[in-house]
Amino acid sequence: MITERGLTQKAIAQLADVPVSTVCGWVSGVLPTDPLAAYRLAKALNVDFQWLLTSESSKGRPSEIPISEIFDLQDEPAMTGMFGITARRLKKKKV
């Protein structure tokens, strides 16, 4: 896709707001560790977020994909006391 659109790794890095070394890793097959960077890139390139991560298309555009379609949410209590905050870990769904 990078060569098809005439983009350089530096341009991709700017679109995703990541270092060029991160894009080099992605091109080499390293999975993104920052889903927001991948999302920014998907939006900038007007491609499907799920496709960018998995090479499989989803039903909607990147802005319309609920995160629950991509990740399983797991309840894990983070803190208790005067107020409680609950965090759920994102775990990639097995397709």
Task: Report if residue 67 sits inside a domain.
Answer: yes
Which residue would you say has higher pLDDT here, 88 or 81?
Answer: 88
Residue 24 DSSP label = H
Q: Does the pLDDT value for residue 77 go beyond 70? A: no
- Is the residue at 28 inside a domain? yes
Mean pLDDT of 73-77: 61
Contact between residue 45 and residue 26 where contact means Cβ atoms under 8 Å apart = no
- pLDDT tens per residue, range 48-57: 887 777 777 6
Q: List pLDDT tens digits, range 10-48.
A: 988 888 888 899 888 888 888 777 888 888 888 888 888
β-bridge mates for residue 86, sequence order: 77
Determine if the pTM surpasses 0.85: no
| Closest to 54 in 3D by CA, of 71, 78, 72 | 71
**Rounded CA Rg of the chain:** 16
Note whether residue 43 is domain-resident. Answer: yes
State the residue range of the domain holding 21. 9-92
